[in-house]
Amino acid sequence: MALSHFGGQRSPFDSIYREMRDLEHSMINPYWHRANHLNFNSAADVGVVVNDENKYGLNLDVSHFRPEELKVHLDGRTVTVEGSHESHTEHGTTKRSFVRSFLLPEDVDIAAVHSSLTNDGHLAIEAPKAATSRGRSIPIGRAIENGKQQQQQANTKKSKEKLNLFLNFQNA
């Protein structure tokens, strides 16, 4: 920014202009435009791994890939992350890809595994730990003799039939 007319001093609006420019660039250019494309080890390192009593989670830097170029797949206890990018210019073709697999611990709730992509291109994969068997109270139910159970089922069936007859009579 050039010096302004304020006696050789910078304009008081320079900092506002700079902040507005940075905001505009962050809105127009998604995270994969700001990635260091000279780094050929994209997604080679796992950033942070959390494995505590409440959850398991890992974080990958996938800033070289657009969201539509990424896949996360769960097969049994194995999570596989894939990324594939290809670009063509008049000078040639650039292709970049990776595949990373992670074995989830035994105490992870497989049904609750989820992933999310942050605005700066970090893929987070998390899952809560399954409820551990610390011991619990088991209620004691009353056993119904076989004959009584059949009688109760027959009474329930008769009650449903009477209700249906009543409803059909009202609708007629």
Least confident of 87-96, 143-152, 156-165: 143-152
pTM of the model: 0.52
Q: What percent of the chain has pLDDT over 90?
A: 22
State both tokens at 149.
Answer: 């159970």
Where along the chain do its domains lie? 31-128
Read off the pLDDT of residues 38-52 as tens digits, 9 standing for 90 and up. 555 555 566 788 898
Known binding residue 114? Answer is no
Known binding residue 85? Answer is yes
In whole numbers, what is the pLDDT of the chain averaged over residues? Answer: 77
Please say whether the beta carbons of 59 and 126 come within 8 A.
no
Which carries the bigger pLDDT value, residue 139 or residue 83? Answer: 83
> Which residues, other chains included, contact 56 with Cβ-Cβ below 8 Å and sequence gap of 6+?
50, 104, 105, 108, 126, 127, 129
Q: Which class is domain 31-128?
A: mainly beta
Judged against a pLDDT cut of 60, whether residue 7 lies above it is answered with no
The residue length of the chain stands at 172
